[in-house]
Amino acid sequence: MVGADQFFDTAAYASALEWWHDAGVDILADANPRDWLAPPPLPPVRPAASEAAAPQLPPTLEAFLAWRAGADAPDARWGGKNVLAEGPTDAELMVLLDHPDRDDCEAGRLLSGSAGRLFDRMLAAIGLSRDRVYVASVCVRRPASGRSPRDAVTLLAAAAMHHAGLVRPKRLLLLGDAASRAVLGADASATRGIYHAVHHNGGRSGAVVSFHPRLLLQRPAAKADAWRDLRLLRDGGRE
């Protein structure tokens, strides 16, 4: 105020500035406008440990199958025993499913029991038999919960695609959601009814998605849709 005594408490000013500095205010002005109410930026996304540590998969089918049954496979530490792929390695059709069922674990063979008997009838309906197709699964062991742990999904999908590239089938029959996700990246509800072109390190295969026989046993009404899937596979996508 003009004419009034002027008195400045410099110690008080210094204390106030120190308080604001400790609170994070270290500048009086900024050359660029800033939205002080905006949320802080998200940290950069880093790959999951399982993705970062993806192994170099064996280059031959024989070596791959040995790795798939060994201690370094993504599902090697799960309980139970391995149920490995089987069938002629030059088969024109490769069938891929999610994992062994309990019947498969007891029999030591994929698609055993009642689901296997239905599967054999499905093949016969399009003029094929078990000894002419190559049958494999995304997981060679049965997950304890019936679903693959999330931290293993990426590696299991990569292994399944690599497996298909080594077999080099003319066509792929993907049974169920897990097989569809591994090869096509989406659930069966989004991929059924389409003849897909799948590119892998062995070339290209036509792929059709259908229901796992275990689901058809639970929902017989879906057999009509499965028959349409099989005809799409048999006819190579032609109407």
Q: Is residue 67 within 8 Å of residue 58, measured between CB atoms?
A: yes
Averaged pLDDT of the chain:
85
Mean pLDDT of 166-195: 96
Confidence category of residue 201, pLDDT binned at 50, 70, 90? confident
- Can you list the positions of beta strands (E) in the chain? 93-97, 133-137, 171-175, 196-200, 203-210
Q: Is residue 172 within 8 Å of residue 96, measured between CB atoms?
A: yes
Domains of the chain: 63-234 (3.40.470.10)
* Residue 61, CB-side half-sphere exposure with 13 Å CA sphere: 17
- Determine the Cα–Cα distance for residues 75 and 137; give it in Å rounded to an integer: 12
As a whole-number percent, the residues of the chain with pLDDT over 70 amount to 77
Residue-wise pLDDT for 144-164, tens only, equals 877 777 778 899 999 999 999
- Which of 26-35, 39-48, 160-169 has the weakest average pLDDT? 39-48
Q: Which residues are CB-neighbours of 215 under 8 A, at least 6 positions away?
A: 176, 222
Question: Which pLDDT value is given to residue 42?
Answer: 45
Continuous H helices in 61-193: 61-68, 102-107, 113-125, 150-167, 177-184, 188-191
- Which of 19-28, 73-82, 155-164 has the weakest average pLDDT? 19-28
Model pTM above 0.85: no
> Which tokens hold the place of 103?
């019947």
179, pLDDT greater than 80 = yes
